[in-house]
Chain A
Amino acid sequence: MPVPALKAKDYKSDIKPVWCPGCGHFAVLSALTKAMAHLGLVKEKVAVVSGIGCSSRLPAYIDSYGFHGIHGRALAAASGLKAARPDLTVVVAGGDGDGFSIGGNHFLHACRRNMDITYIVMDNEVYGMTKGQASPTTRPTWSNSKMTPHGTGIPCFNPAAIALAAGAGFIARGYSGEPSEMPRLLVEAIEYPGFAFVQVLSGCVTFRPDQRSWKEEVHPFINDVPTEDRIKAAQIIQADDGMATGVIYASQYPVWQPDNQKETELSLLEQEFDL
């Protein structure tokens, strides 16, 4: 008897999310389970890895193997896992603070290392979990945080531009309020052979209620996307207001994976020390 295909809900675990009602992250969870169902992924062959933040709680809500690590280090843990276990589908989920601030260095190097990993950043331009401080993607004038009462005064980080500069081969942006577009983006990202970066605009209802206006602000790219051309991609990203959604850049780079065929025994290696 053929095994019936799994539905999106079969990929959800029985753990209830801690998220505030209305949090954008719910839709990302939904989209990911839909993408997994569409791809027919075998649950136990998937590992979802994260750091710390509201967004980083996601792994426990997926019925697969999961690793909820420490703040900012998800990509590092995922890279080690993928290097050691290339047979797994490795998905990393996290927030803008986790990925672009404390984990910024790992973001750069994961882009250039180009392992076959999908990286989903739920960007709400705020530190949700610690109750509303500015993150690297927060606009410089946003002054609702007690820690930066005059706004940060610092221009914000452009994740897509940085991913491109650091060597990522697949760059996309989605909006958690687009329930049919989001799973499609994630399917493409997971299928992409290499490091696939998906920035998801995923509003924080509690500390950024102003983000409700995102619904009206998101729009498709005006240029033809995706492009395979790095220079065009750079132009598109720089010309954009940060609210356009879709796959921006998809190109092919060599995927990095350790090259290791067992060819000898330790006892033979040890002979090098014989006098």
Chain B
Amino acid sequence: MVALGAAAVVCGLELGAMEVGVRRVLARKGEQVVETALRALSLGYNHDQRPGKTLPLPGKQDNVWSITGNQACGVGALRGGVRFVAAYPITPASEILEWLAPRLEKLGGSLLQAEDELASINMIIGASFGGIPSLTATSGPGLSLMVEGLGLALVSETPVTVVNVMRGGPSTGIPTKSEQSDLNIALYGLHGDAPHLVFAPLSIRDCVFTTQWAVQLAEHLQTISLVLSDQSLGQSWAIIETPSPSDLPWRRTIEESPDGDYRRYQMTPDNISAMTLPCTPGGMYTADGLEHNARGTPSSMAVDHREQLNKRLRKLEDFDYGDDWAEIEGEGAQCIITWGSSAGVVKEVARQFRQQGSEIRTIAIRLLAPLQRHALSQALEGMKKILVVEQNHGGQLFQYLRAQDVLPMTASSLAQPGPLPLRPGRILRALDE
């Protein structure tokens, strides 16, 4: 209550107005509680009344948005061309769906509330087969239910995007608090050899770009994109610099007038095969989760399996993802590697470091799979000390980078599970250790 009083001064609010509010909220608790609260309020209010302490009210500003991370993912989805969403409500992802539902309609698209996540993933696969860029949003328990469907989309090369807003896990876990503990399921959850795309937005503002990029790369590469946002990004409100409209070139390759012998899974130099859409004469095929040959006919022959496995791997591995795979800042011989929302606190640590005149490099990974091993190794060259920072218990990114053979043996891990946020002090201590 004392702090509330002090905060009112900073915000330029009148004491009288604050008192009315406090009375209304606490009335039920009795006169004594109200009196004590009002005294505390005015103590805080009168503690420091120096002129200039009140912040100027922002008023109308150009080039800024007021937005949550979940809304930002919604904007990214629409910018990426998503016009169909099917989903089942879940905390902390529902706001993406609630924001999208009426807006999709106005853009000629639609959102279908499914009976469960098994339905939602299969519904968006069906819609995408029909040619409409499609997406769903969920959180850990829902992602777990979707995994079989993701494999189907991947093998039938039907593009879909899943935004997974992470919360404390496993199981029902801590639904309302943030954690970055779904990296493992996102990377390794599918059965079979199933290479696909995994992204993580690095800030609320970045939810727009990363989601758009994920959708358009899923479309272009005819695969699945998983976007790992989390509760701390999704449900926080921020004032951000307006995300510049980015017209990414990536689109699905569509065959509009197939010649006599159309092959849906034809081998091509970039391993991307043109897709026909229903209603196209001469382009008929049956999409299948069964392994198939170039024509799409089910096959259990070793040659077909190997050819299609290679195709699905190479189209992702050989693609040029450019510089957006990570945000790399700073120089020096010390380096923090992080991913997703933890980029925020890591950048704050780097700022404090530089303020003290020290050097540090930060690498915040946005594209987790396929891992840009070569570029990452280059960014790590000459580093004497490497710390991998993330908000989970098992050090999931650290283990992944180890397995991918990009970390020297001296690298160390700072993995702290939710629900408490990572604090700069904790990271600074880990750097000293």
A→B interface (CB under 8 Å): 15, 43-45, 47-49, 59-60, 63-70, 72-73, 76-85, 87-88, 105-106, 108-109, 258-267, 269-270, 273-275
Residues A260 and B105 in contact, CB atoms below 8 Å apart? yes
Partner of A88, one of B83, B84, B278: B278
Given contacts A77-B122, A84-B84, A275-B61, contact A259 B105 (CB under 8 A): yes
Question: In the complex, how many angstroms separate the beta carbon of A66 from the nearest chain B beta carbon?
Answer: 3
Q: B119 touching A106 by the CB < 8 A rule? A: yes
Residue of A nearest to B132 (CB): A84
Within 115-151 of B, Cβ neighbours of A (below 8 Å) are at 115-116, 118-120, 122-132, 134, 148-149, 151
Task: Evaluate contact between A258 and B58: CB separation under 8 angstroms.
Answer: no
> Which A residues touch B349, using CB under 8 A?
none
State whether A258 touches B110 (Cβ < 8 A): yes
Contact yes or no, B289 A44, CB < 8 A: no
Cα separation A263 to B106 with both chains bound (whole Å): 5
The contact of B284 among A44, A68, A85, A269, by CB within 8 Å, is A44
Residues of B within 8 A of A73 (CB): 118-119, 122, 149
Residues B286 and A66 in contact, CB atoms below 8 Å apart: yes
The answer to whether A83 and B298 have CB atoms under 8 Å apart is no
Enumerate chain B residues within 8 angstroms of A49, measured Cβ to Cβ: 126
- The residues of B that contact A273 with a CB separation of less than 8 Å are 65-67, 71, 75, 242
Cβ contact within 8 Å between B126 and A81: yes
Contact across chains for B112 and A269 when beta carbons are under 8 A apart: no
B287 adjacent to chain A (CB < 8 Å) = yes
Say yes or no: A275-B84 contact (C-beta < 8 A), given A44-B283, A70-B149, A258-B110.
no
Q: What residues of chain B lie closer than 8 Å to A85, measured between beta carbons?
A: 127, 130-132, 278
| Interface contact B116-A69, CB-CB below 8 Å | no
User: Complex formed: what's the CA distance from A44 to B122 in Å?
Assistant: 22
Docked Cα-Cα span, A242 to B248, in Å, equals 57
Partner of B65, one of A72, A260, A274: A274
20 other contacts beyond A81-B278, A106-B115, A263-B108, with CB at 8 A cut-off?
A15-B297, A43-B284, A44-B278, A45-B279, A67-B287, A68-B286, A70-B149, A70-B289, A76-B122, A80-B84, A80-B126, A80-B130, A84-B83, A85-B131, A85-B132, A87-B279, A106-B118, A264-B107, A275-B65, A275-B239
Residue B297 contacts which of A60, A69, A77, A105 (CB distance < 8 angstroms)? A60
Partner of A83, one of B61, B127, B242: B127
Which residues of B have CB within 8 Å of A88? 130, 278-279
Across the interface, name the chain B residue whose C-beta is closest to A48. Answer: B286
Q: A105: shortest Cβ distance to chain B, in Å?
A: 6
Q: Would you give the shortest CB distance from A12 to chain B, in whole angstroms?
A: 12
Q: Which of B66, B148, B278 has the most chain A CB within a 10 Å cutoff?
A: B278
B131 surroundings in chain A (CB, below 8 A): 84-85
CA–CA, A109 to B156, complex, Å?
25
Q: Are A79 and B126 in contact (CB under 8 A)?
A: yes
Pair B286/A84 contact, Cβ less than 8 Å = no
**Of B108, B109, B112, the contact of A80 (CB 8 Å cutoff):** B112
B115: chain A residues at CB < 8 Å are 105-106, 108-109
Cβ–Cβ contact B107 & A262, under 8 A:
yes
Taking a contact as CB atoms under 8 Å apart, the answer to whether A84 and B134 are in contact is yes
Known: A68-B289, A273-B71. A264 touches B106 (CB 8 A): yes
Q: When each residue 91-119 of chain B gets 1 if its CB lies under 8 Å from chain A and 0 otherwise, what string results?
A: 00000000000011111111010111011
A65 touches B110 (CB 8 A): no
Point out the residue from B83, B129, B285 that lies within 8 Å of A81, measured CB to CB. Answer: B129
The 0/1 profile, CB within 8 Å of A marked 1, for residues 42-81 of chain B is 0000000000000000101100111100010001001100
B129 touches A266 (CB 8 A): no
**A83 contacts B123, CB within 8 Å?**
yes
Tell me which residues across on chain B come within 8 A of A47, comparing CB atoms: 129-130, 278
Q: Is the CB of B126 within 8 A of A67?
A: yes
Is the Cβ of A275 less than 8 Å from the Cβ of B130?
no
When C-beta atoms are compared, the residue in chain A nearest to B103 turns out to be A269
Contact B64 A275, beta carbon cutoff 8 Å: yes
**Is B245 part of the binding interface, using a Cβ–Cβ cutoff of 8 Å?**
yes
Smallest CB–CB gap between B152 and chain A, Å?
5
